[in-house]
Homo-oligomer: A and B are copies of this chain.
Amino acid sequence: MAQSFPGISVSDWYNEVVEKAGLAEHSPVRGCMTIKPYGWALWENIQRPLDESFRATGHQNAYFPLFIPLSFLAKEAQHVEGFAQECAVVTHYRIKTDIETHSVAPDPEAELEEPLVVRPTSETIIWNTFKNWIQSYRDLPLLINQWANVVRWEKRPRLFLRTAEFLWQEGHTAHATAEEAMEEALRMLEVYANFVQEYLAIPVIKGRKTPNERFAGAEETFTIETLLIDGKALQAGTSHFLGQNFARAFDVKFLNCNNQLEYVWATSWGVSTRLIGATILSHGDAKGLILPPKVAPIQIVIIPVWRSEEEQQKVTEHAHSMAQQLHTQGLRVKVDDDPQHRPGWKFNEWELKGVPLRFTIGPRDLAQGSVEVVRRHDGQKTTYSQAETLAQAKRWLDQIQQELFQRAKHRIEQNTHRIDSYRTMQEILEEKGGFILAHWDGTTETEVAIKEETGATIRCIPLDSVEEEGKCIYTGRPSQRRVLFARAY
């Protein structure tokens, strides 16, 4: 399926477009990225509606420390096993400079008694805090979210998709009953699915992870999975039912309404700057980014075209006046009137940056009261009257948002394969990738064997999967439902 970019792999295309479009770049610190202004503006447009959704579902923001004492991480056995391999560890609190040798080094006399880990996720430090915040059922549910940076050391970093430091939000909630915690975990999965589909125009499949793919310390991990243009899957967000694991590890009990002490039930859930990578790899094409209007930092670029100086002044003024009117409608508009570059250069530049709509205005348009309108995602070029352009711009953007979603949905459907033979599955994975819906016998053993042989993992057991008698494609043992396989980021 992999969308083809002339003479370049999707991976190289991705790196190039992220840097050239001004979204982000590699920093000299291995695995860490610099998010450039255009990329940051996109992240802000992702944060805002997400934050509103969290508030609308009753959550409050707070902020917990960057550092976690090593002993905290160790309190939940599975948790520490899951994160031990990728932790940045602070061991000293001072550096020593030697003026003569021009050397700097950690001061050996300033070693911490207990090393600190830069948070890879905050369950442990937060549950240690919740212990003091929760006494009785009246303190529950406790619904907290945090916007923060986290660090997980990465061997093979990719901008946005897998970086050592990344930005995210992590929700952490505490409940009186298992049912309520499970409802919360599913509610936030729904919030994520709605946001990603509605704002990023990325279709997702909601499902539960197999025990082998669960978050370290969770009893159940829910996920939203999508398929990118290169035929690889991406986990776009996860929501965990943590049972009473962290409450036990940090001894967090509450007095229930029968005056009995019980351990508290927990969830956690998060999405990250990875969503930017998902957006790029869901919609982009050979010309560069294609950004969904709802999150695009610039929704419309207006390019005035002129030959003479007199024309320049007139079309530029006109372009700014149109921009002003569109701005009043709440649209994000930019006029590119830079005299340093020719229109053709600008067309390429703003296509690369994925701006959904381009309005071009030349002297003839000025005379005729017209505007040339070009849609980024399909290149459709139409001339409209200025009045209609101003009246319809908002609707056009909504339409583009819908079309992007439908196009991605169609692409994913085309590349989702119901397979009953292991050989066919292997062939499809080798040739074009994609989602594979196949029967599995439910054992970790089989799951691991398939992963080792094909590189594909079980992305999820879809929540909407129907019961269906079948045989595991690998072992032939009985299976009740198909699960979703793919090679993944």
A interface vs B, CB < 8 Å?
25, 27-29, 32-37, 39-41, 43-44, 60-74, 80-81, 84-97, 102, 104-106, 115-118, 125, 128-129, 132, 138, 144, 148-149, 151, 153, 165, 167, 340
Contact = CB atoms under 8 A, between A and B. Distances in A.
A95 B87 contact: yes
Nearest to A116: B29
A40 B61 contact: yes
Contact of A125 (B27, B63, B68): B27
Contacts of A60: 37, 40-41
A104 B90 contact: no
A91 B106 contact: yes
Contacts of A36: 62
Given A89-B93, A117-B95, A34 B64 contact: yes
B66 A40 contact: no
B70 A28 contact: no
A116 to B, nearest CB: 7
A65 to B, nearest CB: 4
Contact of A87 (B63, B89, B94): B94
A106 B89 contact: yes
Contacts of A81: 97
A66 B30 CA distance: 12
A-side binding surface: helix, strand, loop or mixed?
mixed
B28 A138 contact: no
Which of A43, A73, A91 counts the most B-chain CB atoms under 10 A from its CB? Answer: A91
**What copy number does this chain have within its complex?**
2
Which of A69, A87, A125 counts the most B-chain CB atoms under 10 A from its CB? Answer: A87
A297 B196 CA distance: 30
A62 B43 CA distance: 10
27 contacts: A25-B129, A28-B72, A32-B66, A34-B64, A34-B65, A34-B129, A40-B62, A66-B149, A66-B151, A67-B88, A80-B95, A84-B97, A86-B93, A87-B92, A88-B116, A89-B91, A89-B92, A89-B94, A89-B95, A89-B106, A91-B106, A94-B153, A95-B115, A95-B117, A118-B118, A148-B149, A149-B149
Given A34-B62, A90-B90, 18 more contacts: A25-B129, A27-B129, A29-B68, A29-B69, A34-B63, A41-B60, A70-B95, A70-B104, A70-B105, A80-B97, A84-B96, A84-B104, A89-B94, A89-B95, A93-B153, A94-B153, A95-B115, A118-B118
Contacts of A41: 60-61
A36 B61 CA distance: 8
Which of A28, A69, A105 counts the most B-chain CB atoms under 10 A from its CB? Answer: A28
Contacts of A28: 69, 72, 125, 128
Contact of A88 (B62, B93, B149): B93
A73 B29 contact: no
Contacts of A71: 104
Contacts of A104: 70-71, 73-74, 80, 84
B106 A95 contact: no
Contact of A165 (B65, B106, B144, B340): B65
Contacts of A25: 129, 132
